[in-house]
Structure 1
Amino acid sequence: MTRAIRIGVQIQPQHADYAQIRDAVRRAEDAGVDIVFNWDHFFPLSGDPDGKHFECWTMLGAWAEQTSRVEIGALVTCNSYRNPELLADMARTVDHISGGRLVLGIGAGWFEKDYDQFGYEFGTAGSRIADLADALPRIKRRLAVANPAPTRDIPVLIGGGGERKTLRIVAEHADAWHSFGDVETLRRKSAILDEHGSAVGRDTASLVERSIGVGAPPEEVADELVQAGVTLFTIGVDGPDYDLSLVERWVAWRDAQG
């Protein structure tokens, strides 16, 4: 399978009023990005730890109405924060509101402050990954019996890099895998993912899109990442200003690929 190069932007929902977030989404769609992400946390991850912040899935419902072309999703939903069946129904609803443009980004969770302040059990990395493995089949079963059904098979993007457990879950369930780290880490873990794919009977090399966050201009990093198999590049932007100048450079690079 030959995949098109895609550009995403993560509108980080921190340190801004909602009007500024709404405007950033509008500008991102106008700039030509393929997908607009937020994230699933309850407090800022940088800057003032008690600064302004907004909730993920409420926002995605608003984005579904606001936008008309881009895909939308969380990079990534924390599996711990919602019952899997509830999350499936939320995803199906946003899928319908958006006319079939939702990507279900999901991961095991890691930000302990969210858990402590909102009353979730933090557990261990192992228990959270096990919960994610349990949740994905439940999400799929709920989507399969929903009325009305989703408008499409909602793509599942899994974020994480644990080589023994998380990448096995990716191999079993994901349509896209979001990697963290440099290109050498990506190459090594991508090969491990394909080994898991062989073990579970999926051709992950062709079926699982490789995604990565980028913070440098395309002329500095794009070529080696493309050679490593990446086709989805996402730039994170922070409030309150949401500077999209780097995003625009990546969009121009994508368009120049022909």
Structure 2
Amino acid sequence: MKGTFIDYELLRQFDLDAFRKRSPFPWENIGGFLTREGFQYLYTNFPSLELFEYHNNRRRSHDQRPHNRHYLAYENSIYHRDRPAEAGGVVGRGQLPTAWQGFMDELETSDEYQRFIRRALGISAFIPRYAWHVGSRGSEVSPHLDTPTKIGTHILYFNTSDDWNPEWGGATLVLGGKKIKAMNPDFADFETSTAARITDNHSFLFKNTSSAWHGATALTSPDDSYRRLFNIIFEMPRRSVGRKLVDRARALFKLPD
């Protein structure tokens, strides 16, 4: 493919002020982040499921229901710090289809995209991390907050109207107005729920805050249909993690300074 994967003109027209002011936390369901050609190229060449590992009933930090899914990390995994890229669930650049090699190169060298993310999230620096997720029938993302070391995430979905029926679920839900104090709420424990579109070159950008509750209800898709996405995760530089963790804990649990 010639040219770039990212539609930079769309980024230049993005309303950053409206994004930052959005409730219950900054988020946007972006249509057309990738060029048409770029989306089709990546969609057609999505990494083989053989590269993934299946996460089955892994315990979560606040005893939420498990996020069962197929998972593939780029270069190193938070679940297997010592696992080489050649092992299952971790992929190196050279193992990726050519399309994805080109996209990864663009993500890691694009000054314009990186400036856009810094401005949107209100940060001066971040460390990126990348992972592919594939959900199948019964997969669920129970309501949760991301870990405090995450500044934000850009989720790129790789389904189309031809291969995915919205009635099967899978939409990322923006949850607001939590009605209980517990950190393992259910979807019914929120006053509002707004669904983000996940088909036809849509993506979901959000900033991680103490109000950034989100999830996706259990899939009811046929056995041969899969919810496919690619996560671009923006994490705190290591030198600032300690201070930020303390501040986040105080905000979440209303601790005194």
Q: TM-score, normalised by structure 1?
A: 0.26
Structure with more of its chain in strand, by fraction? 2
TM-score by length of 2: 0.26
Structure that is richer in helix per residue: 1
